[in-house]
Structure 1
Amino acid sequence: MKRNEKIRCKIMAKWSVDPNISLKRLARKCNKNYYTVRKVVLRLKEGRSMQDKPRTGRPKGLIDKNLEKRVVHIIHRHPSMSIRDIAKKQVLHM
């Protein structure tokens, strides 16, 4: 569970015990900012998920697993080969 999700769950747990508590008092209990607590409670009332949405942008890690295997294989066979030479070798074999 991510840090933001933990914060939301903590606020949700305290709010579910006493839903009539003021947001300022709830913020003080959770040691969080009033606006953070307000957003979480409004999110709960709307019935939205407490989990983060996936982020936009380039995905982390390698996309082509076969390329990764080939590069690792070349490095194991020729440990002194430079990265530039490995890249040239991969371009020629593709």
Structure 2
Amino acid sequence: MRPRIALNLKSVPYEFLQETFGSKSELLLKSNPVHKKIPVLLHADKPVCESNIIVEYVDETWSASGPSMLPSNPYDRAIARFWATYIDEKVMLVLCYLNII
């Protein structure tokens, strides 16, 4: 959801391709051969993988459009990245374990 939110906040038009749970399309396997998982943003036929990295890429690529995704202050940006990683590694892991998401 994070990349879609970032693209929408920046008013970037995009085509959303839904992956079927349990199977991996050829496009996904080709676009993310290391982890073989979503999300993947294809921009100018080049893949950008991992949710947080995609958000930063969108923020930098379309910096003139919409609000910035991360604070301008380096320390505040580091704190935002810390909490995003924490949520991915701790909170999401627990939610998946409990079958909440």
More helix by share: 1
Superposition TM-score, scaled by structure 1 size:
0.23
Superposition TM-score, scaled by structure 2 size:
0.22
More strand by share: 2
Higher relative contact order (CA 8 A, sep 6+): 2
Larger radius of gyration between Structure 1 and Structure 2: 1
